[in-house]
Amino acid sequence: MALILVDTNVLLYAYDGREAVKNVHAIWMLDRLREQGAGCLSTQNLAEFMNSARKLSITNQKARQYVAWFVEAWRIFDLTPAVVLEAARGVRDHALAYYDAQLWATAKLNQIPVIFSEDFNSGATLEGVRFVNPFAPTFRMDDWV
């Protein structure tokens, strides 16, 4: 089974009750990815989650507990100098925003063929990495795990 890199926006929806439909879907999706061993994260996701959690009124202590759980339950890919350099190439060659390029570079260099995110052009493939919006009406989890 191929790995799927999950973007921070998916993680945040699982803890944000303001958008009830996305909240329920994100929780279900993350549980399924974890159970199947298909989901993975990057250290970038952990840092972005900590930074954004306060916007959801999640205390620093609670956000830290969530991140500790991610570290225990998910495969985490490190941010390396090679990822930063590849992300810089993604900005230059593909006009990606830097942090989007960094997520793409993490997937590309670690041979992760799919990124679940609502921030990219869903269905697009960039140098072997496919972007999928898991909140799109046509999304079917069975197509991926």
- Provide the pLDDT for residue 12: 93
- For residues 1 and 108, the answer to whether their CB atoms sit within 8 Å is no
What pLDDT, on a 0 to 100 scale, did the predictor assign at position 1? 67
Domain boundaries, the chain: 4-133
Class of domain 4-133: alpha beta
Q: DSSP code of 111? A: T
Q: Among residues of the chain, what percentage have pLDDT more than 70?
A: 99
How open is the CA angle 39-41-47, to the nearest 5 degrees? 150
Q: What pTM was computed for the model?
A: 0.92
* Predicted pLDDT of residue 141: 82
